[in-house]
Amino acid sequence: MQNFNDYNRSERSRGILLFAFNTNIDYCRIAINCAKLAKKFLKLPVSIVTDTPIDSTEFDHMIIRDRGPDNYREKGQLWRNTDRYCAYELSPYSETIRS
């Protein structure tokens, strides 16, 4: 089990962790808009896990990961969801809302 007082987490910090791996849908643009709204209404820092650096000031942390294999198709839509199970290990916060 992961120790939540890890060296990369601020003690008792709270934040939001978003995942965005582009397919034919621009999930990175959606994540930028989500981060803007989260900061405005929830007043929490927002971090992102992605496979490509994003040119945006909306994110407090950017975690670059290989996107891994395509793991879901429905009605012709490609969706990459491989790292979500690692959300709490990847998060820089001790308390995380993930999306």
Confidence at residue 86, expressed as pLDDT on a 0 to 100 scale: 86
3-state secondary structure at position 98: strand
| pLDDT band at residue 72 under the 50/70/90 scheme | low
Task: Report the alpha-carbon distance of residue 73 to residue 85 in Å, rounded.
Answer: 19
Confidence at residue 24, expressed as pLDDT on a 0 to 100 scale: 82
List, for residues 12-51, the tens digit of each pLDDT value: 799 999 999 888 889 999 999 999 999 999 999 999 999 9
| pLDDT band at residue 6 under the 50/70/90 scheme | very low
**What size, in residues, is the chain?**
99
Q: Which residues contact 14 (CB under 8 A, 6 or more apart)?
A: 44, 45, 93, 94, 95, 96, 97
